[in-house]
Structure 1
Amino acid sequence: MLSIDQSVYVPVHVTGFFKPCITNDPLTTGSIGVGLVLEPGLKCTVSITNSSFRTVYFNGFRISIKPVNTLLDMLKLNSIRVYFESYAPIGFGYGVSGASTLALALAILNGKHEYYRAAQLAHVAEVLCLTGLGDVSAIFNGVMLAVRVKPGAPGIGEVKSLNVNNHIKILTVDLKPKHTRDMITTLADKIDRYGLKMYKCFMENPSLESFLELSRIFAENVGFITNEINEALRSIVNMVIGYTVKKGVLLIAVDEDVAYDVFHRVRENFRMVRIFNLGGGIRILGNVKAEQTL
């Protein structure tokens, strides 16, 4: 019998541009692209229960998260209670489904120190559910500016990281929930074409500034950025390093000296504005007691 009492913290991740790379194996399926690893992230707490069913809570509300359920199915776990606490909401583009699934896998398998197996299972669950193609790898291996140079699960794909000035803040706005599955299927041609083009351009000049510029070009061509968003940000354009939109989340990079001024200006047009730091790293917060009874 496996007894679990464990908490794990992981950052979240927002992709700026990407190109899906689909194979007949979910372990090698993934994407190449570039994204920001952000904190505060997400905390997952897991406990075994006496009931015969599983319960999952996200910020206090009972919820069903497809890749989380898929992961628990793969591990054949039902008598389990899972709590997720996240600064970022789910379904907007913060990579929260991938972060949740990865944190849960690490919490369950940490007692056996099977970190890469946990990360690979989380990646497979995301791919099977079409909720993400690169978030798990970026969160597991990346910091700050994460570059996915080879598609696939952790241990198969490859992620390189670029350090960025620590005095930069990332402001975000929750625009509208959007499903990754819908985005990948309805915008496939544009994402393929512009994702690869932006990736190649970035690799010629890798920096936060080029990432933001290329991400905005990608978002405009794919259709994430609207004229209304550009108009709403007109008054702060000269105050920021850059901005872009991924799915349903607007990202604005600013120097910390002007972050709160920009924050209040953005609040004039958008209701929910968040402040993140660039970061990364996974932390095991609790203890595991594992007893194997044959």
Structure 2
Amino acid sequence: MKCTVFVPSHITGFFEIVEHHNPLIKGSRGAGVTLNRGVISQVNVTDGNGEIIIKTNGSNYPLEGSVSYKTLDLLRKQFPEEIRWDEKKITIHHQTQVPIEAGFGVSAGSALGTSMSLSKLLKLPLTYNQAAAVAHRAEVELNTGLGDVMGAVMGGFPIRLEPGAPGFGKADRLLDDKVTVKGYEKDFKDINFEDIKYKSIGKDGGELYVISKSLGTIETSSVLKSPEMTRRVNKVARELLGKLISSPQISNFMDLSLEFAQKTGLIDEEVMEIVEVMKEETIGASMAMLGKTAFSISQTPDSSVEGVMVAKVDSCGCRFF
């Protein structure tokens, strides 16, 4: 039995860490954007002797510390009798379309791909949100992320209003989406639903692009485990969410993201130099949280910055192939 899931990468612009003893309620408030590049997970379940194989981009990945293995293990503990785990061979292949440990939510993509695929293949009694909640819990318990699972599930420009996993937290999104049919807007009554495509659209009717340039990695857990960094992040972030809700525009989201990056001190001079160039050419630019990556939202795929990655805004969220 085989299943394939695509999870859009999620870039966080700003965030507030919210602690809680329950990992399903622990998480973050904040806002971000999802890309049509992300993590493609193919999971294969056959008869076997309990063997588990996890690969990322073709290379074997150690089980210890793996968010994919943590997700599988949580499912195994939640359903110890419903599935004969010791009689299965589970192979998980992740193909990443974005840099790892650079602020694109790859760990959330891996966890979601694992949870969604196994829930479907093994016919586990879980809804979409319940399966996603397992991925969120895996991220929280490993300190690899706090809000990327919710963002990847929502799609578009997610706003995390209250912390927690899907089904526990509360989220909204910026109103950037329109229904288009073969590239043209139509009245609802005239739509042929077989032709519907969902796109994130700029004011001129063109699609929105996410342009990014990665300069290195930041280990997310090193930031999330630091009490001093938590205090600094939360002090800056607390007011930003209210400002975005008061003016829910993409340009405002990007301005607030840059304000967050600068006031927290998370952005360094090297990334800031690229952000300043991107800011002049696009709707806005900032640093991806948490990664040494500059990103911008643009109405064109063009950039004077060399070696950028260009993606489109993804409005559909996590989905099966």
| Alignment partners' CA distance in 1, 2:275 and 2:33 | 21
Question: Residue 82 of structure 1 is aligned with which of 61, 83, 92?
Answer: 92
Matching residue within 211, 216, 232 for 1:171: 211
2:2 is aligned, of 2, 5, 13, to 5
After superposition, the C-alpha distances for 1:60-85 in whole angstroms (9 at most, x for unaligned) are 22224632121122233573111111
1:140-185 superposed Cα distances (whole Å, 9 cap, x missing partner): 1x12110011111111111111232522211111221111111123
| Number of the residue aligned with 1:109 | 119
Give the Cα–Cα distance (whole angstroms) in 2 for the partners of residues 161 and 17 of structure 1: 14
- The 1:40/1:233 distance shift into structure 2, 3 A limit, reads closer
Q: Which residue of 1 aligns with 2:161?
A: 149
Matched residue SS, 1:175: strand
Paired residue for 2:225, among 164, 185, 190? 185
Report the more deviating stretch, 233-242 or 167-176.
233-242
Q: Partner of 1:194 in structure 2?
A: 236
Q: 1:146 to 1:237 in 2, by over 3 A?
A: closer
C-alpha change, 1:174 and 1:48, in structure 2 (3 Å) is same
Post-superposition shift, 1:197?
2.1
CA contact (8 A) 1:143 1:162 kept: no
Identity among equivalent pairs (%): 27
Match of 2:194 in 1: none
**How much does 1:232 deviate?**
4.1
Match of 1:205 among 234, 247, 264: 247
Cα drift, residue 227 of structure 1 = 2.6
Superposed, 1:131-146 pairs within 5 Å as 131-140=144-153, 142-146=154-158
Q: Where does residue 31 of structure 1 map in the other structure?
A: 28
Q: Taking structure 1 as reference, are residues 236 and 245 closer, same or farther at Cα in structure 2, changes over 3 Å only?
A: closer
The CA deviation at 1:199 is 1.5
* Aligned-residue offset at 1:237: 3.7
Q: Take 1:234 and 1:225, find their aligned partners in 2: how far apart are those partners? A: 12
Please report how far the alpha carbon of residue 235 of structure 1 lies from its aligned counterpart in structure 2 after TM superposition.
Answer: 4.7
SS of 2:239 mapped into structure 1: helix
Q: What is the CA RMSD across the aligned residues, in angstroms?
A: 1.9
Match of 1:127 in 2: 140
TM-score normalised by structure 1 residue count: 0.86
Distance change >3 Å, CA 236–CA 70, structure 1 → 2: closer
TM-score by length of 2: 0.79
Q: Which of residues 11, 14, 17 in structure 1 aligns to 2:11?
A: 14
Matched, 1:266 2:310: no
1:114-150 deviation digits (Å, cap 9, x = unpaired): 222211111111110111111111111x121100111
User: Structure 2 CA distance, aligned partners of 1:6 and 1:255?
Assistant: 35
CA distance in structure 2 between the partners assigned to 1:158 and 1:236 by the alignment: 32
Q: Cα–Cα, structure 1 residues 274 and 113, in superposed 2: closer, same or farther, change >3 Å?
A: farther
